[in-house]
Amino acid sequence: MAITKEAAQNTMQTAQHYVNQVYETIKKRNPGESEFHQATKEILDSLVPVFAKYPKYMEGGILERVVEPERFIMFRVPWVDDQGKVQVNRGFRVQFNSALGPYKGGLRFHPSVNASIIKFLGFEQIFKNSLTGQPIGGGKGGSDFDPKGKSDAEVMRFTQSFMTELARHIGPDTDVPAGDIGVGAREIGYMFGQYKRIQNAYHAGVLTGKGLHYGGSLARTEATGYGTVYFVAEMLKDSGLSFENSTVVVSGSGNVSIYAIEKATQLGAKVVACSDSSGYIYDPNGIKLDTVKRIKEVERKRISEYVKEHPEAEYTEGCSGIWTIPCDIALPCATQNEINEADAAALISNNVKAIGEGANMPCTLEAIDAFLQAGILFAPAKAANAGGVAVSALEMAQNSMRVPWTFEEVDAKLHTIMKTIYQNSIQAAEEFGYQGNLVVGANIAGFLKVADAMMDQGIV
């Protein structure tokens, strides 16, 4: 029987009403958690056409359950600094959803970390992990510890104390943390050592992003940045565009940015700017990545050092000016909400063609709307930056098999995964009437798999 236009409108209204109600509950139950509200709002709004087309997803409390973490752990992390003074930080782990596999997601060490940030990241991670097609649930954690300016010994004492509490909550089949902002190979190494000591067992798959000497995967370091560029390349290709001869601005200078710059450059782009939390550099001849890698990965200094070696480049204090630099492709790879409506307007007026989110939620909801309305190609984080966690899952697979793969094998799998995420997101967008809208497409494709698994597993 054909559905009348009026009946279709009514189902949309019912679905919208349902979603609004769930969103009101989220706001009431999680007061003041603006980042968590923002992340849930984006997904909930995308799901209205799903509930309208398949009302079965409104039953069984799928949405009500998916927005409520299965478990939220908060703990004290005491440690002693180099002056002998006792310091107290706060540790977090959210075990958000285990429908598809063990909780999986990074740990962030940054002074801005709080319950809202951890919950928004954990919520995003559920759908990102689902999109990878790998058997991993969603989780996230971290601490308000600030690694900036801390000695190696301080970082080790802090991470050991952090792991002493976290250890009881994680395990290779339970919850598998990894890195995020402020947590790289050094921190993962110290945490793995402490976990092994506590458990008296070599559970290689309990953490990912490990060093290559002890169970790490080749290409894990590169995975998030490379994956973002692979995804954006697919998106560009569909519009007859490519990275070749394009001008690119990449924010940040951490792990994601460095390897996004590397891959974009390999594909023939000129990357003219990158940044850290103090300011940004503009090098009209193209960023010399070796210098950035040394400053950030070895010397652990500020990006302003770059201009001392490359006087043709300019350094500007403060971050948001980076989006006023004319470019064809912008890859925000620093942190959440780094592109607001005004930054989006600046990029649009400079004729940007594509945005690829390497960081988690780097664009505000208003900025995303502005890009979509201007018809700019937009690759949302949970699809575009899923390469990191996808290779983490490949690291878990290698750990279980006790067999390492070559760089080429892992990189080829990563490339295929990113292409598949792009195809699945585009197809979902089309099926639900949002042709070309990857924000809606990725949210729907990610959600459906989790929802189906939750339905199969009963009310838990």
Footprint of ligand GLU on this chain (CB under 6 A)?
104-106, 128, 178, 180, 208, 360, 388-389, 392
- CA-CA-CA-CA torsion sign (101, 412, 181, 31): negative
- CA-CA-CA-CA torsion sign (251, 254, 257, 261): positive
- 49 vs 179 by CB, closer to ligand GLU: 179
Q: In whole angstroms, what is the distance from residue 294 CA to residue 306 CA?
A: 10
Q: In whole angstroms, what is the distance from residue 275 CA to residue 320 CA?
A: 10
- 104 vs 110 by CB, closer to ligand GLU: 104
Shortest distance (Å) from residue 94 CB to ligand GLU: 13
Q: In whole angstroms, what is the distance from residue 440 CA to residue 93 CA?
A: 28
Shortest distance (Å) from residue 137 CB to ligand GLU: 11
- 209 vs 441 by CB, closer to ligand GLU: 209
- 275 vs 336 by CB, closer to ligand GLU: 336
Shortest distance (Å) from residue 218 CB to ligand GLU: 15
Residue 104 near residue 393, CB atoms below 8 Å: yes
Shortest distance (Å) from residue 360 CB to ligand GLU: 5
Nearest alpha carbon to residue 62 among 49, 51, 73: 51
Residue 140 appears among annotated catalytic residues: yes
How far CA 383 is from CA of 5, 288, 400, 421, 451, in Å, comes to: 33, 28, 26, 6, 18
Tell me the residue length of the chain: 460
Shortest distance (Å) from residue 107 CB to ligand GLU: 8
Catalytic residue among 119, 128, 140, 263, which? Answer: 140
Shortest distance (Å) from residue 69 CB to ligand GLU: 17
Q: In whole angstroms, what is the distance from residue 15 CA to residue 43 CA?
A: 14
- Count other Cβ atoms within 10 Å, centred on residue 228: 33
- 117 vs 389 by CB, closer to ligand GLU: 389
What three-state secondary structure class fits 331? strand
What three-state secondary structure class fits 385? coil
- 134 vs 291 by CB, closer to ligand GLU: 134
Residue 215 sits at the vertex; the CA angle it makes with 210 and 359, to the nearest 5 degrees, is: 30
**377-410 burial by CB neighbour count: b if 16+ within 10 A, else e?**
bbbbbbbbbbbbbbbbbbbbbbbeeeeebeeeeb
Shortest distance (Å) from residue 432 CB to ligand GLU: 25
Count of alpha carbons within 13 angstroms of residue 226, beta-carbon side: 22
Q: Give the CB-nearest residue to ligand GLU.
A: 106
Residue 198 near residue 167, CB atoms below 8 Å: yes
- 89 vs 360 by CB, closer to ligand GLU: 360
Q: In whole angstroms, what is the distance from residue 323 CA to residue 330 CA?
A: 8
What three-state secondary structure class fits 66? helix
- 26 vs 386 by CB, closer to ligand GLU: 386
Shortest distance (Å) from residue 180 CB to ligand GLU: 4
Catalytic residues: 140
